[in-house]
Amino acid sequence: MGSQIRVLLVEDSADDADLLMWELKRGGFQPESRRVASRESFTGALEEGDWDIILCDFTMPGFSGAEALEILHRRGIDIPFIFVSGTLTEEMAVAAMRAGAHDYIVKDRLKRLVPAVERELRDATARHEQARDRQQRALAERRFREVLAMAPDAIVAADGAFRITLYNRAAEALFGHSAEEAIGQPLDLLLPARFVANHRDHMSDFAALPGGVQRMNERIEIFGRRKDGEEFPAEAAISKLVEDGHVTFMTVIRDVSERRALEAQLRQAQRMEAVGQLTGGLAHDFNNLLTVMIGNLDLLLERIDRDSEVAAMARVALEASLRGADLTRQLLAFARRQRLEPKAFDMNERIASTIELLRRTLGEPVEIETQFAADLWPVLADPAQLESAFANLAINARDAMPGGGRLVIETANKQLDDDYVAQNADVAPGSYVMLAVSDSGAGIAPAILDKVFDPFFTTKEMGQGTGLGLSMVYGFAKQSGGHVKIYSEIDYGTTVRLYLPCGDGRQREDAVAVGTESPVPGGDAKILVVEDSAAVRQVAVNHLRAFGYRVVEATSGREALETLAADDTIDLLFTDVVMPGGMSGPQLAQAARKRRPDLKVLFTSGYAESAIGSAPGAGLDGSLLSKPYRKDELARKLREVLDAGGGES
């Protein structure tokens, strides 16, 4: 076989070298060789590298085969090394062997050379392959070791006696024990005491399963214990390895407290939503009951002498119910937090009526001054929210003036230009409607001025006022695409300016004038009252009769449809929006209008208008009167609907 080999000859005799080459050629090799005879030339040749075999004389002047072998070994170079010597002694043989030569050939028996070289080349190949394999294994190990080190999860291995044998960096971070502290300890170290027994049972069962490498479970949920004793929820993957009867358990542990916290947050959020919904539902009941209270007191007041003591007492009760209605509206608007749809409306009007409601709450020592811009642009916001925000501002102002003082309420049109925006990052330039509430109170220290909108911040004790705070105002402004500015000077007072986007005014909101005392317009139209609550129905019916209307009653949508079918002289349908029994007010109106397209409709509801708007199939096609309502509100609204042209009021 004419295989090419590179031979390094360490030989002082050129003749001997030629002889060796000749022998190799004869043996079928195509040797390429270099002869060296000194330490320097030998190391130089090694550095140039890539020799297949070294044939080395035992003794040379100034250099020896033993030295050459030693250099080779020191450098960790694995090249077949065969001594070729003129003489051989036992000592030399033993020494050569001990030194790690691969073979030993006596020059006068050169016929052994070729088989020896062939064999050594073969062995060397096998050795190199083995070394490469080992190297690859080591490499793989390093990779895995790296994976282990960098693993975002804690990795802990334990032996059959559940003693920790491996413990990575993430485990150190997770459990708090250093690897030194943990290795050799029982696995129980990492578990809450109450789970230890259970865990041991589990692991023993697992250990008893037949088979080598095994995964116990995709993921199991466990609790871990940190060095400081703190417990945390974790997710673990466990595998078992059996080798030569030795068991190793490997556990990959991931701290899931963050996820648990997220889940808990989610549950909390859902809980909150549940309470929110509940409170929303409560609005209906509260407002029905308030309608009954207000309605019956209104009715009573009509029957008795205005100036009597009885009337005075009834008015106290009535005022209390109006206050209850006001509070209910504010509190529920706050608690509900449903998607409230902003609309364009006249802020002056709304604020004016709210001031009337607030007068009693604010108390006599507070002097109220209004500076309303006459040409105020319509504001685009949620009216109920605006009321709440304003009430909060007014109540805060009052609280800032315990001994009384001046409350100035101002409205104005404002253009916020780029300069202003540059200084107030959270607002866009444009046209705004401003509401400013100023007090003559003690003022707020500059240090806490920027904290007053913080939801946690309160200068009040829990339980004073509504406790809802300025955070609501801030939230409202941000939600509405507006902006709040607070300005305060110690001893002079505080001004809060609320900037709200301006609306185009096309969708004017229906005016709500609670408690105004203008003459009540009546009529003789025939009205169908649909209301499931008997007490509320009674109030409505009594009011309507008092206005002169003819009244027919129904307690459900179905009953109302029957009545309508039987009586085509009914002019107007006055119906609750949310009713039990499968048919809502809007559905009733729709069905009724199919038969009577000219039928006029007035809805009433204890839910906020916006909440109804988002209810499925609501589609309010008509005017809405919110509960609780006063007698005269009802009268005015009815007149409006009856006077509007056609049936599409």
Q: Which strands, in side-by-side order, build the sheet including 623-626? A: 550-554, 526-530, 572-576, 600-605, 623-626
Residues 6+ apart with CB under 8 A from 2: 28, 29, 30
The reply to whether 250 sits near another protein by the rule CB under 8 A is yes
**DSSP letters of 96-108?**
HHHHT-SEEEEGG
The reply to whether 126 sits near another protein by the rule CB under 8 A is yes
Options 14, 59, 73, 147; binder of another protein; rule CB under 8 A: 147
The reply to whether 282 sits near another protein by the rule CB under 8 A is yes
Going residue by residue from 507 to 546, which x/- string records binding to another protein, judged by CB under 8 A?
Answer: -------------------------x-xx--x--------
Going residue by residue from 369 to 408, which x/- string records binding to another protein, judged by CB under 8 A?
Answer: ---------------------------------x------
The reply to whether 279 sits near another protein by the rule CB under 8 A is yes
The reply to whether 269 sits near another protein by the rule CB under 8 A is yes
Q: Which is nearer to another protein, 136 or 371 (CB)?
A: 136
Q: How far is the CB of 412 from another protein (least distance, A)?
A: 25
What is the residue type of 318?
L
Options 32, 263, 417, 621; binder of another protein; rule CB under 8 A: 263
CB 401 within 8 A of CB 440: yes
Options 26, 194, 323, 359; binder of another protein; rule CB under 8 A: 323
Q: Nearest to residue 507, comparing CAs of 646, 600, 647, 380?
A: 380
Q: How far is the CB of 593 from another protein (least distance, A)?
A: 26
CB 575 within 8 A of CB 604: yes
Residue ranges of alpha helices (H) inside 183-256 are: 193-208
Q: Which is nearer to another protein, 69 or 525 (CB)?
A: 69
For the segment 81-120, give every residue that binds another protein (CB under 8 A).
88-91, 93-94, 96-98, 100-104, 112, 115-116, 119
What is the residue type of 403?
G
Residue with tokens 């409006």: 640
CA 583 to chain centre: 39
For the segment 295-314, give every residue that binds another protein (CB under 8 A).
296-297, 299-300, 303-305, 308-310, 313-314
Q: How far is the CB of 133 from another protein (least distance, A)?
A: 10
Options 281, 404, 515, 619; binder of another protein; rule CB under 8 A: 281
Judged on CB neighbours under 10 Å (0-12, 13-18, 19+), 564 is: buried
Options 48, 70, 123, 621; binder of another protein; rule CB under 8 A: 123
Helix H or strand E segment including 242: strand 231-243
For the segment 420-479, give every residue that binds another protein (CB under 8 A).
455-456, 461-464, 466-468, 471, 475, 478-479
Judged on CB neighbours under 10 Å (0-12, 13-18, 19+), 462 is: exposed
Q: Are strands 154-159 and 246-255 parallel, antiparallel or unpaired?
A: antiparallel
Q: Nearest to residue 231, comparing CAs of 266, 196, 184?
A: 196
Going residue by residue from 212 to 241, which x/- string records binding to another protein, judged by CB under 8 A?
Answer: -x-x---x---------------x-xxx-x
Helix (H, G, I), strand (E, B) or coil at 190: helix
The reply to whether 72 sits near another protein by the rule CB under 8 A is no
Q: Which is nearer to another protein, 129 or 489 (CB)?
A: 129
Q: Which is nearer to another protein, 340 or 437 (CB)?
A: 340
Instruction: Specify the stretch interacting with another protein by CB under 8 A; choose among 25-33, 172-180, 242-250, 369-377.
Output: 242-250
DSSP 380: E
Residue with tokens 């001990």: 98
Q: Which is nearer to another protein, 37 or 561 (CB)?
A: 561
CB 529 within 8 A of CB 570: no
| Total binding residues toward another protein, as defined by CB under 8 A | 127
